[in-house]
Amino acid sequence: MKKILISAVLLTASSSAMAVAPGGPNCGWGNMLFEGQTGTASHVVASFTNGSTFNNTFGMTFGTNGCSTQGSLTYGGKEMIDVSLIMDEFTEDVARGDGEAITAVAVSIGVEEQDRANFKRSMHDNFDKMFPSEDVTTEHVVQTMFEVMESDEQLAKYTVAE
């Protein structure tokens, strides 16, 4: 098969991997939301080669970019979605009371279909508790989420480790 060579036009700088945000105490909601992206040139290279993840993960672990808190967010030995990775979408969904991200979180912690509307409403009603300021961390958000669930008759059962 022929290999057609093409030359690189318009490419100048680095193709460094995805920017990794600092984790830890300063990794608040404000920071997470506007996670820095790569520069234009690397963006171009990435799209040409379609090599989107440079650490070529094959396993089913969730990524560790952004303000990942992976490891601290399992409960009952069960792996749940790393909320920090979808924090942007999740936050808006909680504020609105619906959306794909909040559904994904509900599904990942095992909330059955019939309880999901209630889950979303509870999160929405407790927005101020979950997100007290723009410096809130994922840990706080997730912990408060479980507290809210525990205090809800229908949702409490999902917070008990199986």
Partner 1 sequence: MRNPLIILAFLSCLIFQSHAEVKQSNTQLTVEQRQLAFDDYWLTLLYYQKSDYTDSYESFVDDDRFFFAIGGKFNPDAELQANIDTFIEKPEFQCTFPARKKWLDKHLPSIAAHFPQVECKKYNEWRKKLNTESVVLVYAASQLNSPSSMYGHTFIRFDPYDVEKHSTYLSHAINFGATVPENASNFSYALRGLAGGYPGRFATNPYFEKIKEYNRAENRDLWEYKLNLTAEEVDRMLTHVWELQGINFDYYFFDENCSFRLLELIDVAKPGSKLVDQFPGVAIPIDTVRVVRDANLISEVHYRPSIRTDLENQLDSLPKDHRALAIQLSKDINVRETTEFKQLDKAEKQAIVHASYRLIRFLHNKDERSKAVASRSFKLLKMIRKESDIKSVKPERPLRPDLGHDTTMYSVQLGESNEHAFADFTYRASYHDLIDNIPGYDNGMSLNMGEVVLRAVEDSLQLQKAEFIDITSLSVRNDFMTPMSWMANVGAERQWTEGDDKLVARVSGGAGVSYEPLKFDRVFFMLTGRLEYNQGLDNHFSVAPGVTAGYLRTWQNSKSIITVSHYEFIDDLSRTVYKFEHNWSLSKNHSLRLHAKRSDNNNVDYDEFGVSWRGFF
- 76 belongs to the binding site for partner 1 (CB under 8 A): no
Residue 73: name the closest of 59, 87, 94 by CA.
Answer: 87
Q: Residue 94, interface with partner 1 (CB under 8 A)?
A: yes
75 is a site residue for partner 1 (CB under 8 A): no
Q: Choose, by CB under 8 A, the member of 56, 71, 77, 162 that binds partner 1.
A: 56
Residue 19 CB partners (closer than 8 Å, separation 6+): 35, 36, 37, 38, 65
Q: Which of 55, 77, 153, 161 binds partner 1 (CB under 8 A)?
A: 55
Q: Where are the alpha helices (DSSP H) in 110-151?
A: 113-125, 127-130, 138-150
Q: Report which residue type is found at 19.
A: A
- If the CB atoms of residues 12 and 161 are measured against partner 1, the closer one turns out to be 12
Q: How many CB atoms lie within 10 A of CB 140?
A: 17
- State the helix-helix crossing angle for 87-96 and 138-150, rounded to 10 degrees: 40
Q: Looking at residues 103 to 122 of the shown chain, list those that interact with partner 1 (rule: CB under 8 A).
A: 103-104, 107-108, 113
Mark 14-53 with x for binding to partner 1 (rule: CB under 8 A) and - for no binding: xxxx----------xxxx-xxxxx---x-xxxxxxxxxxx
Size of the site for partner 1 (CB under 8 A): 71
